[in-house]
């Protein structure tokens, strides 16, 4: 085996230039006999990293790193020796004999799957530029895709009819079904993707293993993906990683966005390290794959409720992968936009500011505790502490866990006793809470802390100090919740009545444009009144 490795590595070294290998990730400039660039192993502004093509090695005069093409790939791509050899062998066009050969029928079957996916991608791509694909082509160009981008990402169009089933009649039906491109119906095979804008899904080696189809008529779901197959597993596939791998290393981070189009547009507009999960479900496998390349990850989600929930879920998933060299952040695109829209309207600078302003994980997790629990109450603080402890317990690096815990203990001491949640953005001034109502709410919150979790956002707008004492009112949980909901409805009714007075005043002053708003306001008042009456009758 040792002799086999020596012969193979020698052949790879003969075929590959160290300049070409290193140059994939480090920009090099020739000066004299050597090539020079900034060292990829430590931060520097003045190039001290030297590559000697004749001798086949690199050396950094700053940090002392030294090696050949194998050590370079192992360290920069976080691979073991065999993985590095496979990567370089592919680059050199050298075939590596399998150490534990798989059955020939399995190898041949998978080979046929790759071939079918490749042929299907070509067929879809060609179809995009025909009359059938005119609408899809117009859509993708309207989204800002140039012909070069369409070619690079192999974007195509799946027609409404059974295009693949009819085109590949000479292929074995079981193989077409196994790729996920076709399914069997009562009248034979039919295409899984029909009338879709098609995005091929590549594995890290650049082989097409599946497809993602986007609807063109606004129907839901917006995207459908190939079901899991022998060569494709959705939970373990990161969209765009084959294009982003080198950039992730060069830029010392990866950026995760929510959709395929966002990932492509980010890659093409100054953020080549961007990737996306397939669909909205980010998994532990996705994070594990990315952490093999780099543990610095910036999540970039939409700023709406769904995006924030996705960010909270991502935060929980990544905790076990944190190390002392991790730099995890959370960026949000606000205003109902996504990265693609930001790049169109604000350009690269606007997107760069969003990424640069990303919130570090320690702050994001702390904010989650403060937003999701009313920490101005004893019960809320207990719930928040339990939440933080459960999240920190996921961290396997004990030193890092202890350091973050110390930071949180400091913040608890400095903020929680005097912290008050900001009021929601209420433009209308409502009457202050009377003493009887305040005393009742203090009793409820201290007696039933679970009400804080359910009605925390509303309670926080009342600006009440829930640490105070209140007389025992002998309310059960059902009546306590009924009281809170009725108060919420009453205050909402107050807001509606105030709005009605303001709108009526505008109408009397000659502003006819508010008539429709007054009608909507009246309908909402009636609906709220009905809810209040139903609640009282329970």
Q: How much is the pLDDT for 422?
A: 43
- What would the two tokens of residue 446 be? 């201290």
* Residue scoring higher pLDDT (513 or 280): 513
Average pLDDT over residues 100-112: 77
Alpha helices, H only, 153-225: 163-167, 173-178
* Residue scoring higher pLDDT (28 or 505): 28
Model confidence at 279, in pLDDT bands (50, 70, 90)? low
Cα separation of 37 and 64, whole Å?
14
Model confidence at 53, in pLDDT bands (50, 70, 90)? confident
What are the structural domain ranges in the chain? Answer: 2-92, 104-232, 235-419, 435-537
Q: How much is the pLDDT for 2?
A: 41
Tens digits of residue pLDDT in 65-98: 999 999 998 888 878 888 888 888 888 777 777 6
- What would the two tokens of residue 154 be? 């192999």
Model confidence at 212, in pLDDT bands (50, 70, 90)? very high
Is 431's pLDDT higher than 60? no
Is 1's pLDDT higher than 80? no
* Residue scoring higher pLDDT (481 or 135): 135
Q: How much is the pLDDT for 273?
A: 96
Q: How much is the pLDDT for 100?
A: 61
Task: Domain 2-92: state its class.
Answer: alpha beta
CA 67 → CA 5, 37, 57, 428, distances in Å? 18, 15, 5, 68
Q: State which fold the 104-232 domain adopts.
A: DNA primase DNAg catalytic core, N-terminal domain (3.90.980)
Average pLDDT over residues 40-49: 86
| CATH number at 235-419 | 3.40.1360.10
Average pLDDT over residues 415-439: 56
Model confidence at 187, in pLDDT bands (50, 70, 90)? confident
Lowest mean pLDDT among 111-120, 153-162, 223-232, 413-422: 413-422
pTM score of the predicted model:
0.65
Average pLDDT over residues 245-258: 89
* C-alpha closest to that of 333 among 297, 364, 298, 302: 302
Q: How much is the pLDDT for 417?
A: 58
Is 139's pLDDT higher than 90? yes
The SS3 assignment for 181 reads coil
Q: How much is the pLDDT for 142?
A: 92
Average pLDDT over residues 33-49: 88
* C-alpha closest to that of 386 among 358, 420, 412, 359: 412
Q: How much is the pLDDT for 107?
A: 75
Following DSSP, what letter does each residue of 391-442 receive, concatenated? Answer: HHTT---HHHHHHHHHHHHHHIIIIITT--PPPP---SPPPPPPHHHHHHHH
Percent of the chain at pLDDT exceeding 70: 92
**DSSP summary character for residue 239:** B
* Average pLDDT score over the chain: 85
Cα separation of 481 and 28, whole Å?
68
Spacing of C-alpha 270 from chain mean position: 18
Residue 162, sorted as left (phi over 0), alpha (psi -120 to 50) or beta, turns out to be beta
Q: How much is the pLDDT for 351?
A: 94
* Residue scoring higher pLDDT (534 or 146): 146
Q: How much is the pLDDT for 469?
A: 67
**Contact (Cβ atoms closer than 8 angstroms) between residue 374 and residue 420:** no
Phi, psi of 432 (to 5 degrees): -65, 155
* Residue scoring higher pLDDT (130 or 290): 130
Average pLDDT over residues 96-111: 74
Is 3's pLDDT higher than 60? no
Tens digits of residue pLDDT in 312-365: 999 999 999 998 889 999 999 876 678 988 998 889 999 999 999 999 999 999
Average pLDDT over residues 259-281: 89
Average pLDDT over residues 434-440: 78
């Amino acid at each position: 085996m040792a002799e086999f490795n020596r012969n193979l590595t020698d052949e790879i070294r003969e075929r590959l230039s160290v300049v070409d290998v290193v140059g994939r990730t480090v920009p090099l400039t020739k000066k004299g006999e050597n090539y020079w660039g900034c060292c990829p192993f430590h931060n520097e502004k003045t190039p001290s990293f030297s590559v000697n093509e004749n001798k086949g090695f690199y050396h950094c005069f700053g940090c002392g790193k030294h090696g050949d093409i194998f050590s370079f790939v192992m360290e920069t791509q976080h691979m073991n020796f065999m993985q590095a050899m496979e990567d370089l062998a592919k680059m050199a066009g050298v075939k590596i004999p399998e150490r534990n050969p798989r059955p020939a029928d399995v190898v041949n079957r998978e080979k046929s799957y790759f071939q079918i996916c490749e042929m299907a991608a070509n067929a879809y791509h060609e179809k995009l530029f025909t009359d059938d694909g005119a609408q899809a082509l117009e859509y993708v160009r309207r989204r800002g895709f140039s012909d070069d981008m369409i070619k690079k990402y192999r974007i195509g169009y799946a027609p409404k009819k059974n295009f693949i089933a009819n085109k590949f009649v000479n292929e074995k039906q079981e193989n077409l079904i196994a790729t996920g491109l076709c399914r069997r119906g009562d009248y034979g095979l039919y295409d899984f993707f029909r009338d879709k804008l098609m995005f091929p899904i590549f594995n890290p080696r650049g082989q097409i293993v599946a497809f993602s189809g986007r609807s063109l008529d606004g129907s839901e779901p917006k995207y459908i993906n190939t079901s899991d197959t022998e060569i494709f597993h959705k939970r373990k596939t990161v969209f765009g990683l084959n294009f982003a791998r080198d950039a992730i290393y060069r830029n010392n981070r990866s950026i995760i966005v929510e959709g395929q189009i966002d990932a492509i547009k980010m890659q093409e507009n100054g953020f080549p390290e961007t990737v996306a999960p397939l669909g909205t479900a980010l998994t532990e496998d996705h994070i594990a794959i990315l952490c093999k390349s780099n543990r610095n990850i910036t999540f970039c989600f939409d700023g709406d409720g769904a995006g924030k929930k996705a960010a909270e879920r991502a935060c929980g998933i990544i905790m076990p992968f944190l190390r002392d060299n991790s730099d995890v952040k959370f960026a949000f695109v606000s205003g109902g936009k996504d990265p693609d829209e930001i790049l169109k309207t604000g350009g690269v600078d606007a997107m760069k500011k969003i990424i640069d302003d990303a919130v570090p994980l320690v702050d994001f997790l702390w904010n989650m505790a403060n937003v999701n629990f009313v920490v101005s109450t004893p019960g809320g603080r207990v719930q928040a502490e339990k939440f933080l402890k459960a999240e920190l317990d996921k961290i396997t690096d004990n030193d890092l866990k202890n350091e973050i815990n110390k930071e949180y203990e400091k913040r608890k001491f400095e903020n929680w006793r005097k912290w008050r949640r900001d009021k929601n953005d209420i433009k209308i001034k409502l009457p202050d809470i009377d003493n009887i109502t305040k005393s009742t709410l203090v009793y409820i919150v201290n007696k039933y802390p679970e009400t804080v979790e359910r009605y925390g956002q509303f309670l926080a707008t009342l600006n009440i100090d829930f640490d105070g004492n209140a007389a025992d009112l002998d309310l059960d949980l059902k009546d306590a919740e009924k009281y809170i909901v009725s108060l919420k409805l009453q205050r909402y009714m107050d807001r509606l009545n105030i709005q009605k007075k303001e709108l009526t005043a505008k109408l009397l002053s000659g502003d006819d444009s508010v008539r429709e708003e007054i009608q909507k306001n009246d309908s909402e008042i009636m609906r709220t009144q009905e809810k209040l009456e139903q609640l009282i009758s329970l």
